[in-house]
Structure 1
Amino acid sequence: MNRLTTSWGEFPLTRFPEDPRDPLRAWDASDEYLLRHLAETETDLSGSVAVVGDRWGALVTALAAPRPGETTQPTELTQISDSYLGRRATADNLARCGAAPDAVRLLTTQDPPPARIDVLLVRVPKSLALLEDQLHRLAPAVHEGTVVIGTGMVKEIHTSTLRLFERILGPTRTSLAVKKARLIFCTPDPSLERGANPWPYRYDLPGDAPAVAGRTVVNQAGVFCADRLDIGTRFFLRHLPTDLGPARVLDLGCGNGVVGLAVALAEPEAELVFTDESYQAVASAEDNFRTHAGAGRKAEFLVGDGTADLPDESVDLVLNNPPFHSHQATTDRTARRMFTDARRVLRPGGELWVVGNRHLGYHITLRRIFGTCELVAGDPKFVILRAVKTAGSGGRGPRG
């Protein structure tokens, strides 16, 4: 287990789910830079402190943990996160480091933000849209004396990032780079005319998207391809399985739920389950499903760790467009976990259908996990793969 070293002590931190083989740490140089700055400048943290986008809880854990010789702690310390996995990691790290159970209020991006913020710390997210949405939502709680500091790796902070802080909160400048990390300093201007929050965003699906063509969908900020239908999903929609009957279908890593929605509209007897680790994604999926499939149509919407909330052998079909990034890191770890989780919840004879970039080689991983993998369709960029759960007995998979 890696330890984050700060002026306030050392903190053993892990990601979630914890995997001793995972070489990635639960913090990076930008987290270290921000914590060092707070300690060296003796920033007053005695009021209401909000930490946005703290990926694995490194920032709030360091701020909440008992500090030898210091009695001043934040009167209200809040973490705001869109990631279920990040929140679980935060809870585990806080407990491991001896923080009081009520030391940090863990909010999602869908929860109402604090009414007043005296210190706002922002870990710059990969999604500029999510940053824009969160700054708009937090701006009413920021006052003239609020200390606002952002942090991120140099490659994550662009001119457009700084413009968002400038336009929504107030004058902004940056620090020198240290270990390829940079800080953002913003001076709030309560009189600023910031305009309306453009999120959530709505757009019409293209005419070549079977079952959902021309429908208007809503995307919360931060959801993958929040302003258009991505080309991988568009390809997937043209090759989805048919004749499902009363099958229980899981849209795993659902994003805005367009794939599951297409199945629901084409297969009126199918029962849909949508799951994602993003609160923004599941909120989008539920909104789109309720709008287009009807309020009376049965479906489940779960924010969680893959299929962790589903019983073994409880679904007939899993549809999956797995991510191959974990924040800025390129990795197939998430896809492998999704495939393994899918096999667990599939009934015997059930099928996993996966769309992915051709170069990722998912067919090799699927054969290792399922013992079988079939190419359903492909083009120069994408492939759609089908794996059948053959262990056990019973159950007829859907026909393609």
Structure 2
Amino acid sequence: MTTATLEFSAGQRVLCRPGVSDPNLRAWDAADELLLDEAIRRVHAGDRVLVVDDQFGALTLGLSDYAPVSVADSAVLGGALSANAPLNPDIPSAAQLASWLNPPQGPFDLIVMRVPRQSEYLAWLLRWVNSALADNGCLLAGGMIKHLPDRSVDVFAEAMPTEAVLPARKKARVVVCRRGEASLAGWSGLWKGYSVPEVPVDVEAMPAVFARDRLDIGTRELLPLVAPAVARLPSGARVLDLACGNGILGLAALACRDDIRVEFADVSAQAVASVRHNLKRCGFEARASVCHADGVDRGAGNYQLILLNPPFHEGGVVSDHIALRLFRDAARHLEPEGTLLMVGNRHLGYHRSLKRYFSSVVQRAASPRFVVFEACL
């Protein structure tokens, strides 16, 4: 991994972006720089500081002198902090890391937050921040202007008062807010879902989950092939729904047979919470487990069937590096006679990537935009 040095008003941090070798993909952007400089200007000794949805550790490590708590939806942050903290021996102590599965308790005097790309997740975050911010506390929310969600001005206005919008710098923007009255209690945007014939209840999800209110077109191509694949499995087979999102593929597998076990894994804490919610509503809890992880846990064992609809963007960067890592993980955790069933965007050429890890790659379905492959070792 390539390292680079982030310089800001209070010093510098050496950082790498785990999982990528492209030197152009840094572990921070101009929004992190602007947030750090503004946070350093406003923070006081003894303040309780919270970092929300740091990407690769730039904010958490940049504010390490103030012993911040860091909470993130993505499991990527844990690995990034583990990789980057040793590169900076002057850091006083390890950060306290949490996720939305175990959120930290307020109040916090200063909250430094990356603005997400999804407007509904932003609305959720701002309402949660209201519950965690001290009465006289301050929220600094920042992001790259091109990645700010639609209606972001309205989303902020509906949730909390804006004190200032700082001048843009290097195409980044930071908003300064104070505690508002809007809360998550009774908020109609908490759960959204849809129905499919393959699952006995509506499949619901929280705001950070991809395509939570509609069946995405890639999954639409893959879903009809789940039942035939499950029908071929031996009794007691283990199935993995990798990068599971709301869990629709694994839920469909569980609905097919009651003598298999399905495990779900996703990098998003809200996806994990959503799958648990759906398993309970379906009555499938006893035959399933859910893991918040960036890929497949090394101690997970092997599976007879792995279902995968891989993401193709991370932090605003469109790339195949996430899919390649998931293909590698799938190959490592597939039984010798097992199968990977996956869907991907046609233009990404995943049939070539899959052949790095699998001896047999067969196209099973296709549409103008998506292709479904069955891969075996």
TM-score, normalised with respect to structure 1: 0.86
Mapped partners of 2:180, 2:317: distance in 1: 35
State which of 308, 320, 324 in structure 1 corresponds to 2:312: 324
Any idea what SS the aligned residue of 1:273 has? Answer: strand
Letter in 1 for 2:320: D
Q: Is the 8 A contact 1:45 1:119 kept in 2?
A: no
| 5+ residue gaps, structure 1 | 66-73, 390-400
Q: Percent identity?
A: 33
State which of 287, 293, 300 in structure 2 corresponds to 1:304: 293
Is residue 2:20 matched to residue 1:48? no
Mapped partners of 2:62, 2:285: distance in 1: 44
1:100 paired residue number: 92
How far off is 1:216 after superposition?
Answer: 1.6
Q: Is the 8 A contact 2:50 2:111 kept in 1?
A: yes
Q: Is the 8 A contact 2:162 2:175 kept in 1?
A: no
Mapped partners of 2:355, 2:149: distance in 1: 41
Q: Judging changes above 3 Å, is the alpha-carbon distance between structure 1 residues 194 and 366 closer, same or farther for their aligned structure 2 residues? A: closer
| 5+ residue gaps, structure 2 | none
How far off is 1:144 after superposition?
Answer: 4.0
1:4 paired residue number: 6
Letter in 2 for 1:325: H
How far off is 1:49 after superposition?
Answer: 1.1
1:201 paired residue number: 191
1:179 paired residue number: 170
Mapped partners of 1:203, 1:381: distance in 2: 24
2:120 paired residue number: 129
Letter in 1 for 2:214: R
Deviation track 1:146-189 (CA, whole Å, cap 9, x = no partner) reads: 12211100112356222222221213542222111111122334
Mapped partners of 1:251, 1:159: distance in 2: 31
Aligned pair count? 370
State which of 102, 107, 114 in structure 2 corresponds to 1:111: 102
1:354 paired residue number: 342
Is residue 2:220 matched to residue 1:234? yes
How far off is 1:2 after superposition?
Answer: 0.8
Q: Is the 8 A contact 2:209 2:271 kept in 1?
A: yes
1:338 paired residue number: 326
Mapped partners of 2:163, 2:57: distance in 1: 25
Q: Judging changes above 3 Å, is the alpha-carbon distance between structure 1 residues 146 and 255 closer, same or farther for their aligned structure 2 residues? A: same
Q: Which moved more, 1:172-181 or 1:316-325?
A: 172-181
Mapped partners of 1:237, 1:182: distance in 2: 40
Mapped partners of 2:180, 2:224: distance in 1: 49
Is residue 2:372 matched to residue 1:384? yes
1:267 paired residue number: 257
Mapped partners of 1:58, 1:145: distance in 2: 26
Q: Is the 8 A contact 2:111 2:138 kept in 1?
A: yes
TM-score, normalised with respect to structure 2: 0.91
Deviation track 1:333-364 (CA, whole Å, cap 9, x = no partner) reads: 00011111101111112111111122221111
Deviation track 1:27-68 (CA, whole Å, cap 9, x = no partner) reads: 0011011222334x4543631111111111101101114xxx
How far off is 1:9 after superposition?
Answer: 1.8
Any idea what SS the aligned residue of 2:344 has? Answer: strand
Any idea what SS the aligned residue of 1:13 has? Answer: strand
Q: Judging changes above 3 Å, is the alpha-carbon distance between structure 1 residues 128 and 90 closer, same or farther for their aligned structure 2 residues? A: farther
Any idea what SS the aligned residue of 1:370 has? Answer: coil
Q: Is the 8 A contact 1:249 1:316 kept in 2?
A: yes
Deviating above 6 A after TM superposition, structure 1's stretches of 4 or more consecutive aligned residues are 192-195
Letter in 2 for 1:2: A
Q: Judging changes above 3 Å, is the alpha-carbon distance between structure 1 residues 370 and 122 closer, same or farther for their aligned structure 2 residues? A: same
State which of 184, 194, 207 in structure 2 corresponds to 1:221: 207
How far off is 1:217 after superposition?
Answer: 2.2
Any idea what SS the aligned residue of 1:301 has? Answer: strand
2:33 paired residue number: 32
Q: Judging changes above 3 Å, is the alpha-carbon distance between structure 1 residues 45 and 132 closer, same or farther for their aligned structure 2 residues? A: farther
Mapped partners of 1:261, 1:42: distance in 2: 47
Is residue 2:245 matched to residue 1:255? yes
Q: Judging changes above 3 Å, is the alpha-carbon distance between structure 1 residues 48 and 198 closer, same or farther for their aligned structure 2 residues? A: farther
Mapped partners of 1:376, 1:105: distance in 2: 45
Letter in 2 for 1:54: D
Mapped partners of 1:87, 1:320: distance in 2: 23
Deviation track 1:176-219 (CA, whole Å, cap 9, x = no partner) reads: 221111111223345x689733353143314xx4x216x22221
Answer with 1 or 2: which has the greater Rg. Answer: 1
Letter in 1 for 2:213: D
Letter in 2 for 1:61: L
- Give the CA RMSD over aligned residues: 2.2
Q: Is the 8 A contact 2:193 2:212 kept in 1?
A: no
